[in-house]
Each structure stands twice: as C-alpha cells, then as structure tokens.
Amino acid sequence: MTSAARCGFIFVTGVLVVACSSEHELDVSPGEADVDEAAAGKADGSSSQKAELKVVIDSAQIRRARSRLSLLNADSETRRIWFYDTPSLDLYEAGVILRAREIDGAVDDSTIKLRPFEMSQLETRFRSLDDLKCEIDRDPDSESTACSLKSDVGEEHIADVGAYLRQVRGLFSAEQEDMLAAHGPGLTPTDCERLGPIPARVWTIETDALPKKLTAELWYMPDGGQVLELSMKVDAADADDGMDALLDFVDGRGLDLDAVQGSKTKRALDALAGVPVQQY
C-alpha cells in the first residue's frame, strides 16, 4: 500500500475540497438520489449497458477511509432503507429484493430488483417501462446481471408503513407488483414483513483519478457494525478498466478491502431478519 498524502481542507462555495500534495483532487458533496438511467442497458449487449462497480472497505478501516476521503456527516445525504421479505428471506433466496428508501431532501422511492436476471428473461411488456434498469453488478471477485424497476413514493408513506399505519403493498406500483407476480416465487408484498430501517449516509466524490463520479455509502447495521461501500457506474465495455482504476484509487489511499466482498443488501437482511421493527 502507498502511504497517504498530506491534505489540506478548504471550502469553496459551500463544497468541501480536499487538496492533496501528491494525489488527485477530490470534490466531496452529498450523495444524490440515484439518477434515472432507464435507457441504459435496454439494448442487450450494446455499449450503452451499464456496469455498477462496487468495493466494500475493510470494516476496521472505515474511520480511516472517512478521514482520507473526507466523508463528513455534514456533507452527507441521509437515508433510511427498508426491506420487505418473509422472516426466512424467501424473496431474497428466490432472487428478488423489495426495498424502499426514505431520502432526506429528495423524493422517496421503492424498488423491485431481480438478480441474477437479464433483459432477455423479462416479459416483453416490462421492457419499455421508463423506470426499468438492467445492468451488471460487479465486485472484485464476481459479477451478476440484474434488472430493477423503481417508483416514486409519497412523502411519509414509507414511515407510515414502518409504523403499521399503511400496508406494504401501498409502496409498490401496479407495474412493480406485476413484475413480482411474473418473475417472483409466488409471494406478494402483503406476504412480507417490514425489515428495517437501515440508517445510511451517502456522498458523491468527483476526482480526475477516476473516469466517473464515485458514490460512498455507509450503512449502520442493527448489531452496531458498519458497512462502507464505494461504487461507480461505467459502460459495460469499460468495466475492466474501471475496476482497475477503482482498486488503484482505494490502494492509493492506503485502504484495504473487506475480506468478504459482495452485496451489502444480504448483510443487512441477515442482520434484520427476526429483529422487531419496534426497536428502531
């Protein structure tokens, strides 16, 4: 690992800039709600298909990572992330994720995600939906295809569902429920328990060391642990070079990867299963 550079911190028009003497400059800002890239990945095998590259930082180095990447609480976007599944995680085991996000300062949303799954497996009636996204999820050890459908959710609806004032199914659109019925294991949102929330902080990092903006997402787990994931979206054709650049970026800041890479969602679901919502 290379040693960390010496850095100075200044504020320019409200944005924290980290000026480093032997590294690329970092611009850190609150994470944005996911940009709609529905068109990306709708042409099978085309150069427009996206790959989301992800790495999980060693949990023992999260404090160091936050310092070296200047991930300050004041500069983060805060979220509360809920999942909906059976107590034995039957949906997840069948390759389906139902999720909703309360996003401070932005529109809340819900998502159904199928993984592993490709556009060619999707029923034709879903393929042209505006909020459909099919892409590649890739970490240093593996990759998987996924298709997801997102929908905006009314203010306070997610919190009301968490407080048992609304039904889970009210968070998902008719198209999302149809997609679950067509490609899921025969369960509906009504069959699901509320799992969550997972509090999270999100930052956006822009640097000329990377070809695209980097998202840093920190999840606070129910057991007191934390998961810090760095992710970057690139064209699928550029995934190899993008992953190399991301790994070099992490290595150049003296950070190690967690021994177990892969989905932070699975870690969250394992931690949440059987935990009563009321304790949050």
219, two tokens? 């999840």
The one-digit pLDDT tens for each residue of the chain (280 residues) are 333 444 444 333 343 434 343 445 799 999 876 655 444 444 444 447 999 999 999 999 999 999 999 999 999 999 999 999 999 999 999 999 999 999 999 999 999 999 999 999 999 999 999 999 999 999 999 999 999 999 999 999 999 999 999 999 999 999 999 999 999 999 999 999 999 999 999 999 999 999 999 999 999 998 899 999 999 999 999 999 999 999 999 999 999 999 999 889 999 999 998 666 644 3
Burial class (CB in 10 A: 0-12, 13-18, 19+), 5: middle
Burial class (CB in 10 A: 0-12, 13-18, 19+), 235: middle
- Inside any domain, residue 1: no
- Inside any domain, residue 166: yes
CATH number at residue 170: 2.40.320.10
- Inside any domain, residue 78: yes
- Inside any domain, residue 164: yes
- Inside any domain, residue 96: yes
Range(s) of the domain holding residue 159? 7-34+43-279
- Inside any domain, residue 47: yes
Q: 163-172 long-range contacts, Cβ below 8 Å, gap at least 24?
A: 164/194, 168/84, 168/192, 168/194, 171/84, 171/100, 171/110, 172/98, 172/110, 172/112
How far apart (Å, rounded) are the C-alpha atoms in residues 222 and 213? Answer: 29
The gap from C-alpha 260 to its chain's centroid, in whole angstroms, comes to 17
pLDDT at 39: 44
At 99 the three-state DSSP class reads: strand
Q: 203: part of which helix (H) or strand (E)?
A: strand 193-207
- Inside any domain, residue 134: yes
pLDDT at 277: 61
For the chain, what is the domain count?
Answer: 1
Contact criterion met (CB below 8 Å) for 88 and 195: no
- Inside any domain, residue 151: yes
